[in-house]
Amino acid sequence: MVVAILAGWWSLPFWLAALFMLQFFRDPARQAPADPRAVLAPADGRIVAVGKARDPFLERDATKVSVFMNVFNVHSNRSPVDGTVKQAWYRAGSFVNADLDKASLENERNALWLRTRSGQDVTCVQVAGLVARRILCYVAAGAELARGQRFGFIRFGSRVDLYLPLDAELKAALGDKVAAGETIIALLAGHD
């Protein structure tokens, strides 16, 4: 009787939903590269924007790199640099497709201002997407983060924007697939 209930054809949608949830909430261990100048991908996904932009949180010109996460990517977010969280901001907003550039300014988002030991400022912004309705951030101002350390999670498709100093040497390009805490996005000038 139990086997018939668990294996009946009608139960297939429930089993598929359970498998999808298990794969979505996975969070594999990652090994961060040793280079202290490395800026790592803060999320798994595809790079959808690279270029000069205005950092809306630190009010400065910066190089912006955006990583789009679809529903099949790991959604755990990791610190791109070794540094101190100087400030955190939360802004409510809409839920347009996170693959669009306007999502950076219109969607719900949570930003962290990270300062490296050498004084470089990096802004890391979690952006909710069309389906995502929950941004989780586990750190606040004063927290010390190591490159690749988990700091948050965004549920069901979203993006993470990085605002880097203009003198950062980009290593990733538009369309690249990246892995959080492992893929080097850029190298910061100076030494930590």
Active site residues: 158
**Which among 153, 178, 173 has a CA at the least distance from the CA of 51?**
173
Q: Which of 133, 159, 142, 136 is nearest to 42 (CA)?
A: 159
Using an 8 Å Cβ cutoff, are 158 and 180 in contact? no
- How many angstroms separate the CA atoms of 125 and 163, rounded? 8
Q: What gap in Å lies between CA 8 and CA 3, rounded to an integer?
A: 8
